Amino acid sequence: MATKKKNLKKSAKTAKAPTGTATAQPQAAQAQAQGQPDPTALSIGDLKNLSTILDVASTRGAFKANEMAGVGFLYNKLQAFLAKVAPEQAPEGTAGAPATAEGK
């Protein structure tokens, strides 16, 4: 009988563990408030790297024939997204370039 009570206490402690993960959300929000980047955020650079990884993996034969359609669809969708987003970022990075070309 005493061992059952101990087992119940142990199971009650382990049942409380998932509630500890709920506190991770406020900690992440607190980290963002302090100016730290969100570690789970994806950047455009991350998506470009993913595109490169898909290209290399397909070149090396990492995907089976029946998987190629899905991989190709995702790759094309990713490329279209990057092409759409790239013009938005280009003016920021090349803002000074046209001025120097005109100045010559």
Segments making up each domain of the chain, as ranges: 1-37, 42-91
User: Using an 8 Å Cβ cutoff, are 81 and 47 in contact?
Assistant: yes
Distance between CA 30 and CA 70 in Å, rounded? Answer: 38
CA 78, 37, 40, 33 torsion-angle sign: negative
Model confidence band, residue 18 (pLDDT cutoffs 50, 70, 90): very low
pLDDT over 90 (residue 81): yes
Which whole number is the average pLDDT over 26-54?
Answer: 81
Model pLDDT, residue 104: 46
Residue 8 has what DSSP assignment?
Answer: H
Model pLDDT, residue 11: 47
Which whole number is the average pLDDT over 50-72?
Answer: 94
Distance between CA 59 and CA 97 in Å, rounded? Answer: 36
| pTM score, whole prediction | 0.51
For residue 35, the SS3 value is coil
pLDDT over 50 (residue 84): yes
